[in-house]
Structure 1
Amino acid sequence: MNNKIQLNDLIPVNPDEYQKYRLHFAKPVFDKETGNRYFPLQVLHNQLFEADNDDWDQWQTHMHNSKGERFPSDFVITFAQYPDNSDTFLFGGVFKIIDRDKTNDKYNIEWQSEYEKYVGRLVVKVKLETRSVYRKLDNLFPKVVIKEILPSPFYTGEKFPGYKKLDLTYNKLSEIDHGYLHDWKQVLQNIEGVYLITDEKNSKLYVGSATGVKGIWGRWISYYNSLTGGNKGLEELNEESKKKFDENYIKQNFHFSILEAYALGSIGREKIIERESMWKNRLRSRETGYNKN
C-alpha cells in the first residue's frame, strides 16, 4: 500500500491542464550589488507576519530572466526552500496571472483564496534533478509529496522552553532566524540580560550582555551572521580554526544559553554590564575562556 499523500491530492490539477500551471521552487538568491543573500523562507515569513509587507508577492511578479519568460502560464504554484534541506519546501500559495505588464516587465497576480489556509503550513518534499527553479508540471507534479502540515504558519509545535532551559546550537539559531520558530524570536527580542556561549569541545566559556533594540536575539543573530560578533577572543579562535582547515568549528561546537534575563529597559544598561562582569568573575571566563576584557 502506498501511504504517501501527493500535492495533487490537495491541489488537484488535471493532467490535461498541466500547461496552464508552473511550479516555482524559490531558492536563496545572492544580490551581487549589495552582497546580501536573501532566503525565500524568510521572505515568505516576513510577508505573513509584517503589515504592509508584500516581498513574497514581488518574488513572483518579474516576467523575464535571461532564459525568457518565467511563467508562460495562467497559474503559479509557489514554494520556499528550507535553507538546510534542499529537498524540502514550504508552500507559498497559488497565484493567478491576471495580466502581463510588458512596459514594466511585470506580472499582475492574484492569490487563489481556496489555498491560502495552507500557506506557511504545508511542507512538501521533492527531489529536483535540475537547478531550474521554474518548472513545468509534466512528470514532476506527481512526485511532490506532502511531508507534513503545520498547526499554524511556521509553527512546528515546539514550545519555547523558558530562558533557564534554553540551550541553542547554530542550527537552532538558523531555525529561529528563518522563521520556523516565530514565537521563540518574539520572546528573545523582548528580553535583555547576560548570556553564555559554551564551546562544547573544550568547555571554554564566553560571557556577554545584550541591551537595547531586539534584545538578546539582536546580539545572537550577529554571532549567527558573523560567527564572532566582533569579539576579539572569538575572532582569534576563528582565525586559528581557519588555519587548521576547520572553518565550521564555531558552528559545530558553540552553544548559546542565558544566565539572566529581564524585560527590555527594565533595569538599565549599567546594571546589566555590572551583572555581566560579576558572571565573568564567577565563571573565570577571562582567565580560562574567551573573554578578553
Structure 2
Amino acid sequence: MLGLVPYLLASGVVFDPSDTRIHLACWNGIEEPINVYYRGEFQAWQEGQNRRNFECKHVMSLIDLGRGIWLFAGIYHVLGCQPHPTWEGGHYLYSTELLPGQSDLVGRLIIEHQRTRQSYVWCKPEMALQIVEIKREKMTIADFPGYHSIVINHDTLKTIIRMKIDSWYSALANIRGVYLIVDTTNGKTYVGKASGDVGIWQRWSTYADNGHGGNKELIEVLVENGEEYMKNFQYSLLEIADTYASEKYILAREAHWMKALMSRKFGLN
C-alpha cells in the first residue's frame, strides 16, 4: 500500500510534514463531518475550534468514514487565529487556505488509520497512513438508489434536502406514500404518510428541519433526549403511490402498516 505523506509529496503538494497536525475529523456531537463535506462547507466548519488546535504551519484533514477508514480532505496552510466572534467560552476561529496541487486528490483518497482518543495528532514518519483506495471520482452523496433501496440516516437526509439533489428531488417530489422512521438506538418505529402536493419530499423536508415533523411522539422523544438525538433516526419507504392517490387510500395504507408493524403498541405512533 502507498503511504499518504510520500504520495502527496511525490504528487507535488508542497508542505512540511514535521510542522503538520492531522485533524481526524469525527462527529462533534452535532453532525457528521462527512455530511459537512458533502455540502461543500468542510473548510469553514474545520476553522471553528474550541481550543488552539492548529498551532502549526499545516493541517492535514481526514474525515471519518467508520471502521478505521478516512477520506482525505486536503492539506491547509494556517494563516492566523483569533477569538471566535460569535461563539462564547474560549473558542477560536482560524484562517486557512487549501494548498495548491491537490484539487484532484481531495475527496478521492481513502486512508486506513486506527485512531486513538485524540482527534489532533502530529504527523510523524512512523504513522501508518496508508492509501487503500484512490477513487475515480470525488466522493458525493450517491444518486437516488430507487424507492425500495432507501435507508438513510438523519444527517444524510438533511444534506439531501439542503442541497436539493436533483435525482432525489425528482423521485420523492412526485410520489405519495407511507414511510418508516426507526430509532436506531432501540428499534422503535414510527409509520407516517405523505399525501401533499410535493409528496414524500415535502414531508421529509420537515424532518430534515427539526427531526420530528410535528409528530407528537417524536417531539416527546426529542424533548426527553435533546435535539441532537435526531441523529439516531433512520428513514425508508414502506409503500409508494402516485400523486393521484386519494387521501383516503393513503390513510388506509398507513393504518395497514401501523397494524403490521405494531407501531402503536410497541413503537412511536
In structure 2, the partner of 1:187 is: 167
User: How far apart are 1:138 and its partner, in Å?
Assistant: 1.5
Alignment pair present for 1:89 and 2:73? no
In structure 1, the partner of 2:89 is: none
Equivalent of 2:119 in 126, 133, 136 = 133
Q: Distance in 2 between matches of 1:162 and 1:58?
A: 33
Q: Distance in 2 between matches of 1:178 and 1:121?
A: 23
In structure 2, the partner of 1:153 is: 138
User: How far apart are 1:102 and its partner, in Å?
Assistant: 4.9
Q: Which amino acid aligns with 2:26?
A: K
Equivalences for 1:17-28 in 2 at 5 Å? 17-28=16-27
Conserved 8 A contact 1:280-1:286: no
User: How far apart are 1:205 and its partner, in Å?
Assistant: 6.5
Q: Which deviations, in whole Å up to 9, do the C-alpha atoms of 1:18-71 show, x marking residues without a partner?
A: 3221111112223xxxxxx13211222212xxxxxxx42223435x744xx312
In structure 2, the partner of 1:73 is: 56
Q: TM-score, normalization: structure 2?
A: 0.65
User: How far apart are 1:178 and its partner, in Å?
Assistant: 7.4
Conserved 8 A contact 1:208-1:276: no
Q: Which amino acid aligns with 1:133?
A: S
Equivalences for 1:28-107 in 2 at 5 Å? 28-30=27-29, 37-47=30-40, 55-62=41-48, 65-66=50-51, 69-82=52-65, 85=66, 87-97=68-78, 99-102=79-82, 106-107=93-94
Q: 1:57 to 1:286 in 2, by over 3 A?
A: closer
Q: Which amino acid aligns with 1:42?
A: N
Q: 1:118 to 1:174 in 2, by over 3 A?
A: farther
Q: Which amino acid aligns with 2:203?
A: R
- Structure 1 gaps of 5+ residues are 31-36, 48-54, 239-246, 263-270
- Structure 2 gaps of 5+ residues are 85-91, 222-228
Q: Distance in 1 between matches of 2:109 and 2:196?
A: 36
Q: Distance in 1 between matches of 2:155 and 2:197?
A: 23
Q: Which amino acid aligns with 2:248?
A: S
- Give the share of equivalent positions with the same residue, in percent: 19
Q: Which amino acid aligns with 1:43?
A: V
Q: Which deviations, in whole Å up to 9, do the C-alpha atoms of 1:102-134 show, x marking residues without a partner?
A: 57754432211211212222222211122x211
SS in 2 for 1:147: strand
SS in 2 for 1:116: coil
Q: 1:174 to 1:29 in 2, by over 3 A?
A: same
Alignment pair present for 1:123 and 2:110? yes
Aligned CA RMSD, in angstroms, stands at 4.6
Alignment length (residue pairs): 239
SS in 1 for 2:17: helix
User: How far apart are 1:95 and its partner, in Å?
Assistant: 0.9
SS in 2 for 1:8: helix
Q: Distance in 2 between matches of 1:92 and 1:12?
A: 16
User: How far apart are 1:220 and its partner, in Å?
Assistant: 3.4
